[in-house]
């Protein structure tokens, strides 16, 4: 092969490899956002033709696998950003529940102190009989 032909072949292989990488990145991006992985959406996101994807058995298999993942029940295919949000929300709920328990305990203690102090105050008021002060 001449040098020119070798250079053209290498250039075409590099462009093809770059396009393949863009398709793989586009599949991950679509799935991460929870969007359907169709040939048209994938080709548009990757900047390649649908024929390029269709002609590659590896890329077609990738699309088929993505479609099978989409077919799972919706609760099983929550987008990645939502999964992290769910974990964050669960942690926040745990913290809020802990704070709530602590505040309830503090309130119960404050109510006991209040009742005790009211009783002491009632007993110290002048002009009350001993019987009234005990009640």
Tally of domains within the chain:
2
61, two tokens: 């298999």
Taking the complete model, does pTM exceed 0.85, yes or no?
A: no
Residues 56 and 112 in one domain: no
Q: Of 107, 105, 125, which is closest to residue 115 (Cα–Cα)?
A: 107
Q: Specify the DSSP class assigned to residue 128.
A: -
Residues 60 and 2 in one domain: yes
> Which pLDDT score is estimated for 76?
52
**What parts of the chain have a pLDDT lower than 50?**
none
Judge whether 53 and 42 are in contact, CB under 8 Å. Answer: yes
> Which pLDDT score is estimated for 1?
63
Residues 11 and 32 in one domain: yes
Determine the structural domain holding residue 29 and report its residue range: 1-77
Residues 50 and 112 in one domain: no
Write the secondary structure of 47-88 as one string of H (helix), E (strand) and C (coil). Answer: CCCHHHHHHCHHHHHHHHHHHHHHHCCHHHHCCHHHHHHHHH
Which three-class secondary structure state does DSSP give residue 127?
A: coil
Long-range contacts of 57-61 (CB under 8 A, 24+ apart): 58/20, 59/20, 59/23
> Which pLDDT score is estimated for 129?
59
Last residue of a domain, one of 77, 95, 112: 77
């Amino acid at each position: 092969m001449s040098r020119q032909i070798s250079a053209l072949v290498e250039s075409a292989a590099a462009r093809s490899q770059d396009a393949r990488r863009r398709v793989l990145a586009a599949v991950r991006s679509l799935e991460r956002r929870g969007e359907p992985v169709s040939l048209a959406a994938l080709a548009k996101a990757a900047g390649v033709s649908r024929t390029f994807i269709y002609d590659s058995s590896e890329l077609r298999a990738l699309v088929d696998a993505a479609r099978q993942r989409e077919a799972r029940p919706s609760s099983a295919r929550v987008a990645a950003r939502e999964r992290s949000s769910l974990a964050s929300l669960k942690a926040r709920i745990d913290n809020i529940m802990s704070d709530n328990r602590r505040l309830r305990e503090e309130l119960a203690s404050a109510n006991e102190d209040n009742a005790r102090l009211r009783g002491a105050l009632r007993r110290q008021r002048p002009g009350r009989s001993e019987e009234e002060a005990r009640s």
